[in-house]
Structure 1
Amino acid sequence: MKQYVVTAYDFTDNNALNRRMEARPAHLEGVKLLKHHNNFVAGGAILNDQDQMIGSVMIVQFETETLMQQWLKNDPYVTGQVWEKVDIKPFRQAIV
C-alpha cells in the first residue's frame, strides 16, 4: 500500500473550533473504519499554545492515490469545513 502523511490546518474564524467539535464524532468514527480496513497508521490533533486543537496530522495508507483522495473528500473535517489547508505528501514508514 502507498502511505501518505496528511497535515491539515483548521480554519481560523470564530466558529472554527465549534465546527471541529461538531464534526469530531463523525471524523473519529471514520478513523475507526480506516483502522479496521488497515488504512490508518497514526494520527492526532495539532495543538496551539493553549492546548486547543488547530489542525490534524494523519498517516494513512491506500492501494491507490485515487482511493486516498476519495476518503479525504468525504471526511467530515473536509465536508464540515473544519480543515482549511490540507497538505498531502507520500510517506514511507521506517522499518526499525
Structure 2
Amino acid sequence: MLYVIHAYDFTDAEALNRRMAVRPDHLEGVKKLKAGNNYVLGGALLNPEGQMFGSMMVVDFDTEEAMQQWLQNDPYVTGQVWEKIDVKPFRQAVV
C-alpha cells in the first residue's frame, strides 16, 4: 500500500536547527527505506524564499501498522522536527 505523507515543521526559533541536526540520520533512514523498497519519492517542502518548512514522502508498506512503526521512529519525529503529520493512502495513476 502506498502512503503520501505531508509533514510540517515546528515553527519555533530552533526548528530549523533541530531539522539540520538530525537531517543526516533522517536521510540515512531514507536510504534504508529505499534499500527495502519502501521509499518511492520524497523531499523538502520549500517556502517562497526557498527555505525548508516540511517534507513530503511517498512510501510503500505492506500494512499501515508497519508504516506507522517506521514513521514514529523517524529522526524527524523523535527529534521534534515535524509538528503536524498528515498521512493518506495513495494510488499512483498509471498512464
Alignment TM class, shorter chain as reference: over 0.9
> What pairs with 1:12-91 in structure 2 (closer than 5 Å)?
12-91=11-90
Unaligned runs of 5+ in 1: none
Q: State the alpha-carbon separation in 2 of the partners of residues 57 and 83 from structure 1.
A: 11
- Superposition TM-score, scaled by structure 1 size: 0.97
| Structure 2 unaligned spans of 5+ | none
SS in 2 for 1:67: helix
The residue matched to 1:29 in structure 2 has which SS? Answer: helix
In structure 2, C-alpha distance between the alignment counterparts of 1:53 and 1:24, rounded to whole Å: 12
Q: How far apart are residue 95 of structure 1 and its match?
A: 1.5
TM-score normalised to structure 2 length: 0.98
Stretches of 4+ aligned residues off by more than 2 angstroms: none
Please report how far the alpha carbon of residue 63 of structure 1 lies from its aligned counterpart in structure 2 after TM superposition. 0.5
Cα separation, 1, equivalents of 2:91 and 2:22: 29
Aligned length: 95
Query: 1:64 deviation in Å?
Result: 0.5
Give CA deviations for 1:2-46 in whole Å, capped at 9, x if unaligned: 000000000000000000000100000000000000000000000
CA distance in 2, matches of 1:94, 1:41: 14
User: By how many angstroms is 1:92 displaced?
Assistant: 0.8
CA distance in 2, matches of 1:75, 1:23: 10
Computed over aligned residues only, the root mean square deviation of the Cα atoms, in angstroms, reads 0.5
